[in-house]
Amino acid sequence: MEVSLIRYTPEPELTVAAAARLCYSPDQVDELLEGLTLTKARKLINQLRQMGHLSPFEHASFTFGIAGVSRALSHQLVRHRIASYSQQSQRYVAFSNLEVVVPPTIAAKPEAQDKFDAAIAAIAEAYQSLLELVPAEDARYVLPNACKTNLVMTMNARSLLNFFTLRCCTRAQWEIRELAWRMLDLVSEVAPSLFADAGPNCWKDIGCQEGAMTCGDPPSRIR
């Protein structure tokens, strides 16, 4: 998996703070930006997070390049609807080489790895044969969830906070959890105050909300 932050709203923390101050001020946004230091902005953002007033967070957008993740992951990912996606097409791209994601539980057991490899080899052979007989968009019906795919995804900071709450949690599937943590690392570097308490609910005052489905583990920054 390769994850990069390829674009984002310049000065995301100042942008969010100026928008938030506008709501309570007679001044225009240009005037608000002039008098705003990063220290003041971060203090205000912390207050907004604590009160759950997250709408100003929407003014900061983040665009990620995501490569080498499985189609199992991407099918889950695109369920997040307050976001924008461009994904490599299996209809239009014919793959000469079948690259796959191997789940760690499979990699850890030679017997499982063997079964997995044999299936992938059979699929790869069938796919190449089918490419000569039918359109790529139909040949791909044999391709597995493990197939690697590439995406560009854009989410604003508020939608990202929701994404991190759900997908950094140990109850999320391991691959999308890894993606979520990688994304959180990237955005935390460029806009630390926006994401200061991002992650699963168990870290926060609110605590685990998974009810009977809780993992039961103590909250921890260990991923």
Angle separating helix axes 38-51 and 12-23, nearest 10 degrees: 60
Q: Which of residues 119-178 bind a copy of itself (CB under 8 A)?
A: 119-120, 122-123, 125-127, 129-130, 133-135, 137-138, 140-146, 150-152, 154, 156, 173
Nearest CA among 4, 118, 115, 112 for reference residue 62 = 4
Closer CB to a copy of itself, 18 or 179, in the complex: 18
Distance CA(178)–CA(84), nearest Å, equals 20
- In angstroms, give the least distance from the CB of 140 to a copy of itself: 6
Give the count of beta carbons closer than 10 Å to the beta carbon of residue 97: 6
Judged by CB under 8 A, does residue 222 bind a copy of itself? Answer: no
- In angstroms, give the least distance from the CB of 39 to a copy of itself: 19
* Part of the chain binding a copy of itself (CB under 8 A), chosen from 34-42, 64-72, 177-185, 188-196: 64-72
| Overall residue count recorded for the chain in this entry | 223
Judged by CB under 8 A, does residue 52 bind a copy of itself? Answer: yes
Q: Which of residues 85-104 bind a copy of itself (CB under 8 A)?
A: 85-93, 95, 100-103
Distance CA(130)–CA(142), nearest Å, equals 9
What is the sign of the dihedral through the CA atoms of 55, 23, 38 and 42?
negative
Select which of 49, 71, 167, 177 is catalytic. Answer: 167
* Part of the chain binding a copy of itself (CB under 8 A), chosen from 37-45, 109-117, 183-191, 215-223: 109-117
Judged by CB under 8 A, does residue 26 bind a copy of itself? Answer: yes
- Mapped onto helix, strand or coil, the DSSP state of residue 220 is coil
Q: Which of residues 176-205 bind a copy of itself (CB under 8 A)?
A: none
- Clarify whether 177 is annotated catalytic: no
Q: Token pair for residue 168?
A: 């950094």
Give the total of residues touching a copy of itself (CB under 8 A).
99
Q: Supply the Cα-derived Rg of the chain in whole angstroms.
A: 21
